[in-house]
Amino acid sequence: MTWETVIGLETHVELATKTKIFCSCTTQFGGDPNTHCCPVCTGMPGTLPVLNEKVLEFAVKAGLALNCEISRRSQFDRKNYFYPDLPKAYQISQLYLPICHDGAVDIGGGKTIRIHELHMEEDAGKLVHDPWLDQTRADYNRCGVPLIEIVTEPDFRSAEEVISYLEKLRSTLQYLGVSDCKMQEGSLRCDVNLSVRPAGSEEFGTRTEMKNLNSFKAISRAIAYEARRQIELLEEGKRVVQETRRWDENKDATYAMRSKENAQDYRYFPEPDIPPLELSEEYIDGLRAAQPELAEAKRARYQADWGLPAYDAEMLTSQKALADFFEEVVALGTDPKQASNWIMGQVLGQLSTHGLEAKDMALTPPTLARLIALVQEGKLNRNTAVKVFEAVFADDGDVDAYVKEHGLEQVSDAGLVEQVVEQVLAANEKSVADFKAGKEKAFGFLVGQVMRQLKGQAAPAVVNQVLREKLSK
């Protein structure tokens, strides 16, 4: 029998607000335990949550970018459960009236993933177990960091579709500036709901939910494992149990955490400490008007306005920081194609060499723009320029100072070139004879000799021209 895999995703994204969702503590990652805390985010008796308006704004922006309906009336709800990382013993979330619902994401290849809802909630703290002392310690720094949870419909049929969606989601949220979406730091976390069914069937099979997926690679592998596990069970005539399973990266397998029978009753009810949110049309229209250009639109514009190849446009827009960098270089007067070539070649090359992401590099647009300008003006030979680039990349060094200090300025003085050409011709009579006998290869050799004499700093066009003139005499 052929089986079809059916997948839905719940993605938690940490919002990049400076302060927490209900108090003014910093959201900065890390820090000594319990140093990013106050009476509010540690749930001290008597404290009250007050919504950070930036969180609302970011959630609506994300919803708009994911083509969601924005709820004109929304509310927070309490999700009640006991756990030491949750100091109030309830999480403030949204169940009954989420801020955004019914969206859609085009993941390419004619496939659209429907968004069921997007809601706001607070993150919990962290428990650190000390096996030596057999003690568990609570760190509440992460308590109250704002999250949005984006829930899709069960529209995925493969791991590839899931990854395309997550890449699109990450790019979109980064473009919006609402999250940095770093999986390693947990600012993008994903739970995968998966079931299988005979191909062509309309009914859904029993699903499991997988947690602890910390990378795209883990997601792909967990999906492959879990689909296979479920298919094998069904083919053996067994049943899939509805349960939560944990992905174990080291063992490359999923393990049952808890079954539905043990599922908690969260006793959701409207949060009485936060009044319902009423959003005006003006508020939503204002945010819609202020939405930045997203990757797709940029891609189209780069191709249409600047004639970049589709591949280049896609690469440049794959990371917002890269696209921003590119546009700033162009804005400094650089030819877009030149800028694109340099970024596609040298910048991406250096990022890869240094293991950096575009948003973390020191290099600034004026540095690259200046370098390209020197080449364009004939003051720097392209090969030399690449060397200069490599030298200044890591700490955004001063291009002009570096060129001057290392005496790299290109020789475009035809008089000086002529002198050298004459010396070279005199010293290489055989090659001159070869050339005149029709061996074009000899020309290249002579150019090389001239360049060597000039330490590679001559403008190739000038060398070619002078050499041809002399040889034709």
Which residues form the interface with other proteins (CB under 8 A)? Answer: 39, 42-51, 78, 80, 82, 84, 87-90, 138, 265, 267-270, 272-275
| Shortest separation between residue 204's beta carbon and other proteins, angstroms | 22
Three-class DSSP labels, 376-397:
HCCCCCHHHHHHHHHHHHCCCC
DSSP states of 227-272 as a string?
HHHHHHHHHTT-----EEEEEETTTTEEEEEEEGGG------EE-T
Shortest Å, Cβ 219 to other proteins: 30
Residue nearer to other proteins on the CB measure, 38 or 224:
38
At its nearest, how many Å lie between other proteins and the CB of residue 134?
13
Amino acid occupying residue 397:
G
Kindly tell me which of 79 and 299 has the beta carbon lying closer to other proteins.
79
In the complex with other proteins, the residue whose CB is nearer, 267 or 359, is 267
In the complex, least distance from residue 273 CB atom to other proteins, rounded to whole angstroms: 5
Tokens 């003051």 locate to: 379
Q: What are phi and psi of 92, to 5 degrees?
A: -85, 115
Residues whose CB is less than 8 angstroms from the CB of residue 113 and which lie 6 or more positions away in sequence, other chains included = 104, 105, 107, 152, 153, 155, 156, 161, 165
Rounded CA separation 33/449 (Å)? 65
User: From CA 18, how far away is CA 25, in angstroms rounded?
Assistant: 8
Distance CA 303, CA 61 (A): 26
Nearer to other proteins, 84 or 177 (CB): 84
If the CB atoms of residues 264 and 419 are measured against other proteins, the closer one turns out to be 264
Question: Minimal distance in Å, beta carbon 114 to other proteins?
Answer: 26
Nearer to other proteins, 78 or 245 (CB): 78
Of the candidates 162, 176, 204, the one whose C-alpha atom is nearest the C-alpha of residue 10 is 162
CB of 264 to other proteins, least distance (A): 10
